[in-house]
DNA sequence: AATGTAATGCAACAATGTTGCAAAATTTTT
DNA sequence: AAAAATTTTGCAACATTGTTGCATTACATT
């Protein structure tokens, strides 16, 4: 496990540090997505706020995690699939935000349909965020 | 024009005040979407920061404007179509964010396709944000 | 183990968002 | 049209979130 985080970091030409291992570990052990605040809360006094900001930024640049758009001024982050690499994200899957429990899911198997854009518009990325209630909350 | 903003406010059971008229007017005269910062910048010292926050919140609640999700911690707002009413937004159209000029467009005529969600998941709203370059920037 | 390089923590700051309350403006009632 | 009731605004103070520079520390390389 500790091995895995170190491996991922090395594979992305990043030096293996305690903070990076721990933050990456959080992502590996979370089904959904994490906001900056989640990480800070969860980590206690392990590392500085600034380190969290810089680590998340680094992970996004390297294509380890990707951002999920939200309407509440709290960007969330989730692990990228293997196909992502530095500077080239391929996260055209659907994100689901549960209004009831607040969890953000990556619906990896629901693909984003291609859209007909008006003339002159060219797309490089498409983000789909669906809100509603998740399977867990519906069965409760 | 001044008539129009007052009418919209009355139609939504809101008292007609200077700040609300001016902020609503900004939306009526903007093709794209506006972030809180845009409004504050554009308004100068006309009204307080707090008033902008509260006005935007009120407009969203009343269904006059809707939020557009972003990945940069700066929620944008755009006018709702007529079908929206208090508490019930129906803005399932596509938003386009130009990487070049930063403008946010509401592509009213590009409809959001319905998606097959995994079992147990129920959707109440679908937001689609496409990034790329807009028609204006491509022709330049 | 020693050196060079990169990441971290700290401090200070900037920007953004929130809350309570008195003053002012708007709406309703008389 | 004026007075009363209600709502909105502005101010102040505060809380949260995000940023930058630099000395210290940890990591990678030899």
pLDDT (tens digit, 9 = 90+) per residue, A34-48? 999 999 988 777 889
CB-based contact B102:A104 (threshold 8 Å): no
- Considering only CB atoms, which chain A residues are within 8 Å of B53? none
**Confidence band, pLDDT 50/70/90 cuts, at residue A88:** low
What would the mean pLDDT of A42-58 be, rounded to a whole number?
A: 91
Q: How close B125 comes to chain A (CA, Å)? A: 5
Sole residue written with tokens 């002159």: A120
CB-based contact A104:B88 (threshold 8 Å): no
Using the Cβ of A110 and the Cβ atoms of chain B, whether some distance falls under 8 Å is answered with: yes
Least confident of A14-23, A68-77, B80-89: B80-89
Q: Å from B122 (CA) to C14 (C1')?
A: 41
Query: Is it the case that residue A93 has pLDDT exceeding 90?
Result: no
> Does residue B120 come out as left (phi exceeding 0), alpha (psi in the -120 to 50 range) or beta?
left
- Considering only CB atoms, which chain B residues are within 8 Å of A72? 75
Question: What pLDDT does B1 receive?
Answer: 47
The 10 Å Cβ neighbour count of residue A108 is 11
Query: Is it the case that residue A83 has pLDDT exceeding 50?
Result: yes
Q: How close B63 comes to chain A (CA, Å)? A: 15
Could A138 and B117 be called an inter-chain contact, meaning their C-beta atoms sit closer than 8 Å? no
In this structure, is the CB of residue A47 within 7 Å of any atom belonging to strand C? Answer: yes
Using the Cβ of B59 and the Cβ atoms of chain A, whether some distance falls under 8 Å is answered with: no
Query: Is it the case that residue A140 has pLDDT exceeding 80?
Result: no
What would the mean pLDDT of A15-31 be, rounded to a whole number?
A: 94
Question: What pLDDT does B86 receive?
Answer: 58
Distance of CA B88 to the CA centre of its chain: 14
What percentage of residues in chain A have a pLDDT greater than 90?
51
- Considering only CB atoms, which chain B residues are within 8 Å of A123? 96, 130-132
Pairing of strands A122-133, A34-35: unpaired
Question: What pLDDT does B60 receive?
Answer: 95
- Terminal C-alpha separation, chain A: 32
| pLDDT averaged over every residue in chain A | 87
Tokens of B91: 């803005």
Query: Is it the case that residue B134 has pLDDT exceeding 60?
Result: yes
Rounded to the nearest 10 degrees, the angle between the axes of helix B36-43 and helix B18-28 is 110
DSSP letter for A58, please.
Answer: H
- Considering only CB atoms, which chain A residues are within 8 Å of B87? none
- Which of B117, B119, B134, B138 to mutate to test binding with chain A, by most A CBs within 10 Å of its CB? B117
Question: What pLDDT does B84 receive?
Answer: 56
pLDDT tens digit sequence for B9-54: 999 999 999 999 999 999 999 888 999 999 998 877 789 999 999 9
Distance of CA B122 to the CA centre of its chain: 25
Chain D positions with any atom < 7 A from a protein CB: 7-12, 16-21, 26-28
Using the Cβ of B139 and the Cβ atoms of chain A, whether some distance falls under 8 Å is answered with: yes
Using the Cβ of A90 and the Cβ atoms of chain B, whether some distance falls under 8 Å is answered with: no
More confident residue, A91 or B115: B115
Query: Is it the case that residue B58 has pLDDT exceeding 90?
Result: yes
Q: Please give the Cα distance from A14 to A55 (Å, whole number).
A: 11
pLDDT tens digit sequence for B61-106: 999 999 998 888 889 999 987 555 556 666 677 899 998 888 888 8
Question: What pLDDT does A12 receive?
Answer: 94
């Amino acid at each position: 496990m500790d091995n895995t985080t170190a491996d991922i970091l090395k594979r992305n030409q990043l030096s293996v540090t305690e903070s990076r291992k721990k933050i990456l570990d959080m992502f590996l052990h979370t089904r959904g997505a994490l906001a900056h605040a989640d990480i800070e809360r969860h980590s206690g006094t392990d590392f500085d706020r600034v380190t969290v900001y810089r680590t998340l930024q680094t992970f996004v640049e390297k294509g380890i995690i990707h951002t999920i758009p939200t309407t509440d001024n709290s960007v969330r982050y989730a692990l990228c699939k293997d196909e992502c690499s530095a500077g080239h994200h391929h996260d055209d899957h659907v994100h689901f935000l549960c209004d009831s429990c607040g969890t953000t899911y990556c619906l990896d198997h629901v693909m984003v349909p291609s859209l007909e854009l008006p003339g002159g518009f060219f797309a490089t990325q498409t983000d789909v965020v669906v809100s509603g209630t998740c399977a867990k909350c519906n069965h409760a």
